[in-house]
Amino acid sequence: MNLETGIPVIHSDGDILVIDKPAGVLSIPDGYDHAVPYLRRLLEPSYGRLWVVHRLDKETSGVMVLARTPEAHRALSLQFAGRQVSKTYHTIVEGEPEWDEKVLDLPLRASVGRHHRTVVDIGNGKPAVTKFQVLERFDGYALLAAIPETGRTHQIRAHLYDLAFFILSDPLYGHMRTSIYIDRMALHARSLRFWHPSTGAMVTFESPCPADFEAALAQLRYLTVQG
């Protein structure tokens, strides 16, 4: 834990900084209010110049890598663009999947309509592939692993929406009307695997699900047993 920023640091070396981003922290500056704290502003006083390689939505928690040199930024960006990075998310969804695994290969178009949602668009969307696995089942809900092979905006949320599943407490693609309490979207970046930009070694970093996520799961397990 970085005591000055309150952001847990998973790994740090001369090339990369791997953090456990808390929910509620912006990955990049707010487009309307530049005074709102974001990762670089919070971390650079302690770690020096940082480059953002990829993003997590504000309410998404979990593992995230930032580059500490221009060379590392270039190398990591090429890996993300070339689909060489493995990302696994955990999410709690409303609904009970009839499948154990599903691969969704549907193109997505971002920033559609007044709510700026990402939607499936066969004709004009960009290629997007997400693999889903059911990890645990509850009455009316499920814990899923989501493994995106591409990095489209809101990809997991939009693909789940197309399957008629909603991430718990997601106000943009779902709703807030649920008896299971978590005060933010139940989406967590669980692991990240990539080639280290200097050593060339394959490295994997993981982030355990945070307390609010685990509390929601505990409530679901209790209600399912009682039910």
pLDDT tens string 11-39: 999 999 999 999 999 998 876 767 788 99
CA contacts within 13 A on the Cβ side of 220: 25
For residue 106, what are its two tokens? 């549907």
Name the catalytic one among 20, 57, 105, 212.
57
CA contacts within 13 A on the Cβ side of 212: 18
pLDDT tens string 72-98: 999 999 999 999 999 999 999 999 999
Residue 1 lies inside a defined structural domain of this protein: no
Q: Is position 57 annotated as part of the catalytic site?
A: yes
Residue 41 lies inside a defined structural domain of this protein: yes
Query: Is there a contact between 165 and 173 (Cβ–Cβ < 8 Å)?
Result: no
Q: How far is CA 57 from CA 74, 149, 154, 180, 203, in A?
A: 22, 17, 8, 21, 23
The pTM of the full predicted model, rounded to 2 decimals, is 0.93
Residue 49 lies inside a defined structural domain of this protein: yes
Using CA atoms, how far apart are residues 175 and 156, in angstroms rounded to an integer? 16
Residue 213 lies inside a defined structural domain of this protein: yes
Q: Specify the number of domains making up the chain.
A: 1
Instruction: Read off the CATH number of the domain in which 34 is found.
Output: 3.30.2350.10
Residue 78 lies inside a defined structural domain of this protein: yes
**Which structural domain, as residue segments, surrounds residue 24?**
9-226
Residue 2 lies inside a defined structural domain of this protein: no
